[in-house]
């Protein structure tokens, strides 16, 4: 039976936030802790670091940690949007929490880079941490790829095109399970889909532009 169209915000609504949302707090706090630490150690920041012609202005010093906070906020927001925009009452598979794991990774990495002017962080540590975290993610995906709850949603075959684009105006969901791979994909017939996509990728572009501008 087909579902009538309605606003995506009514899909998956729970009386309170899910219990796992507590795990979304640390990636938001890590950059804030970095900002606090840099503020306390402001007098220890070298007059020049990074580019030899740039003095330690607040924008230059805090650029990476602000970037980390923005990335973490976008990813946490994406996870919550999936939660509330899906017609499933809960995350039945750990796969949907991969964006949350990415928030941890990026928050830690960019905060660590931002702390290098006042913290003795080995130069090899950050580059080594990224492939190790990626390897852990691959192992995680392989271990859970056979989970019985990890199959795609029962969406109409005719609503899929180009292998992974879902367009169903009779489905009120904003997100549905991806036909291939893991996680969710947007229902492009939902009027909120383009707003979410534009907001997310526009936010990424703005953050990258901010970081380039801050470090000039």
Nearest to 47 by CA among 66, 60, 32: 60
pLDDT in tens, the chain (216 residues): 344 334 444 444 444 666 777 888 999 999 999 999 988 888 877 766 554 545 567 888 888 999 999 999 999 988 888 887 876 544 455 556 778 888 888 999 899 888 888 877 776 676 777 777 777 766 766 666 555 555 555 677 788 887 778 888 888 888 887 776 667 788 888 889 999 999 999 999 999 999 888 877
pTM of the model: 0.76
CB under 8 Å, gap of 24 or more: what pairs does 49-58 form?
A: 49/116, 49/117, 50/215, 51/215, 54/215, 54/216, 56/117
Nearest to 64 by CA among 108, 7, 130: 108
Question: According to the model, what pLDDT value does residue 203 have?
Answer: 95
Contact between 183 and 95 under an 8 Å Cβ cutoff? The reply is yes
Give the containing element (helix H, strand E) for 173: none
- How close are the terminal C-alpha atoms of the chain, in Å? 57
pLDDT score at 131: 75
**Number of neighbours of residue 167 by Cβ within 10 angstroms:** 15
């Amino acid at each position: 039976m087909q579902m009538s169209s309605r606003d995506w915000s009514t899909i998956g609504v729970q009386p309170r936030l899910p219990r796992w949302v507590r795990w979304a707090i640390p990636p938001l706090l890590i950059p804030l802790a970095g900002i606090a630490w840099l503020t306390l150690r402001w007098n220890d920041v070298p007059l020049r670091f990074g580019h030899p012609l740039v003095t330690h202005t607040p924008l230059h010093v805090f650029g990476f940690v602000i970037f980390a906070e923005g990335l973490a906020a976008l990813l946490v927001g994406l996870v919550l949007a999936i939660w509330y925009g899906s017609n499933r009452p809960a995350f039945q598979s750990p796969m949907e929490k991969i964006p949350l794991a990415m928030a941890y990774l990026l928050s830690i990495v960019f905060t660590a880079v931002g702390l290098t002017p006042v913290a003795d962080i080995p130069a090899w540590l950050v580059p080594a941490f990224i492939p190790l975290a990626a390897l852990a993610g691959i192992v995680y995906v392989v271990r859970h790829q056979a989970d019985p709850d990890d199959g795609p949603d029962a969406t109409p075959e005719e609503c899929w095109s180009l292998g992974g684009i879902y367009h169903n105006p009779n489905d009120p969901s904003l997100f549905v399970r991806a036909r291939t791979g893991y996680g969710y994909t947007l229902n492009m017939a939902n009027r909120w889909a383009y707003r979410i996509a534009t907001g997310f990728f526009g936010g990424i572009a703005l953050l990258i532009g901010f970081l380039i501008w801050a470090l000039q």
